Structure 1
Amino acid sequence: MRVVDVVDLMCLQDEGEHPHGISNVRFDALFTSDRPVIFAYHGYPWLIHRLTYKRTNHNNIHVRGYIEEGTTNTPFDMAMMSNLDRFHLVIDVIDRVRSLGARAAHVRQNNGGRADRGSGVHP
């Protein structure tokens, strides 16, 4: 597992598209060319897809991001409503990394105890 902290979104573009962009070789070295990538982003997911659509591994990039619900909440509530909390990110990993499937099925199955508590988000 690898964690990549993207500070400048423009680096996701090719170096020929933007001055901050990186080469395909560098992009593949950071994000791999054949492994699942789970991208947690505080904005709209489509932006990440638009910035990476020409990259080798684009089909394996899954973006969790802001889901518009038309309401104002705390940052914690927004993360929960957008499925950006740690639990959902772990489930994304379990769903996409084949070798984890059987070993981590219990985490996915019991829903981390959340089914009993609800999301914690108040309408």
Structure 2
Amino acid sequence: MKNKKLMFAAALVVTSFAGTFIPNSAIASAPICTRGQKAEAKWKGKWYPVKVLDVSGQKCFITYEGYDSSWNEWIGSRRFRAYFRTGSSVNVRWKGKWYPARILQVSGNGYKITYDGYDSSWDEWVEPARVSRR
């Protein structure tokens, strides 16, 4: 019985996201982008800078930077990628202020970050809208 409880507990691993704890499954089902996010979209094998105008489920309505609105389109996760990679130095907005941080992990819908000068108890998953270039 103890092993079953441990297996169940392992299946319900939780992750810190914006100061609250939610199951990993909830993070996995969250949208892949956020309105206003700058990212890249793949078109005919090449990546282009875009801005997310709207979100619906796992789709992002994007506009290509430098192109007119006739190019705007809905795309899914296969053609969408955020700017930041594991190890990137970034700024993260927390309670209205920006703090220097580093990306520890990247998922399709957010980043696990560690704040510079703070211990790992402050590490958290953040949505892309809270992250900017340093």
| TM-score when normalising by structure 2 | 0.21
1 or 2, which has the higher helix percentage? 1
1 or 2, which has the higher strand percentage? 2
